[in-house]
Structure 1
């Protein structure tokens, strides 16, 4: 049975615990939507100072809104457009300290100030992205990036 935990270790230790919790949530489930839904809920519960956590899934040459936690969002994002589309097309994490300084930023929520987008790449194909927004500028640091990439790699094993 899954239980939430008070995260009292270092930032890295807390992320490692969240990754273990993710694996426990997903280990016996094969449904992609259920797994992405639980992954979004887990991150939303764990992370502070975020206003949107969710997934966009590849459909042709665009990303389509998947399971998320937060306000209603943009439904379709072309590859190469905005932070999510750039992460998807380049297959590279985008850690943006100030979204208003990002050329072509797509503003789904005016409250968002910073963003991190991790591409979900399986067999060298972008199957989607993990998108996290914050109402605080420069919310995400190198540790967040490294550990969210590790979280995403663990998640990809179940997709």
Structure 2
């Protein structure tokens, strides 16, 4: 997958002057889901540091019951605490995984920083075992740097 080809469209979506932030993020989720064949669920979670919880933001994909996730719980909750990318090649091999759907085989979560503070993350589920590479990580870090400009 050549992610360089996607950079300009990410910037264009996030630069739309007539769109609210959540609409831009929803469009971005849709673009990522449409552009990368193994991105089957794409969404954002945002941190509430007082309650130590993550709250579901804009997303594209199957409905989820996981609208609030405590820090430390599941892959997303672990990223909220570690401030580091987390790539899970096979969710069945993870002890601290919150199952969303039996179709999800792998997951990647990349934290979103604004002024050095982890305010949330982009979360991507795949129906494919072990599809995520270092190129996905670098691309999603780029995406989050662009998203951070909205805050």
| TM-score w.r.t. length of structure 2 | 0.90
Q: 73, 98, 101: which is aligned to 1:81?
A: 73
Q: Secondary structure at the match of 1:92?
A: coil
User: Per-residue deviation at 1:142?
Assistant: 1.1
1:23 aligns to what?
A: 11
2:60 aligns to what?
A: 69
Q: Give yes or no for contact 2:38–2:126 (8 Å, CA) kept in 1.
A: yes
Q: Give yes or no for contact 1:57–1:65 (8 Å, CA) kept in 2.
A: yes
Q: Give yes or no for contact 1:58–1:128 (8 Å, CA) kept in 2.
A: yes
Q: Give yes or no for contact 2:14–2:146 (8 Å, CA) kept in 1.
A: no
Where does structure 2 lack aligned partners over 5 or more consecutive residues?
Answer: none
Q: Give yes or no for contact 1:50–1:132 (8 Å, CA) kept in 2.
A: yes
1:120 aligns to what?
A: 112
User: Per-residue deviation at 1:158?
Assistant: 2.1
Q: Give yes or no for contact 1:115–1:131 (8 Å, CA) kept in 2.
A: yes
Question: Does 2:42 correspond to 1:50?
Answer: no
| TM-score w.r.t. length of structure 1 | 0.86
2:83 aligns to what?
A: 91
2:131 aligns to what?
A: 139
* Aligned counterparts of 2:145 and 2:18: Cα–Cα separation in 1: 17
Query: When the two structures are aligned, how many residues end up with a matched partner?
Result: 147
Residues 1:103 and 1:68: Cα distance change in structure 2 (over 3 Å): same
Q: Give yes or no for contact 1:35–1:158 (8 Å, CA) kept in 2.
A: no
User: Per-residue deviation at 1:30?
Assistant: 6.6
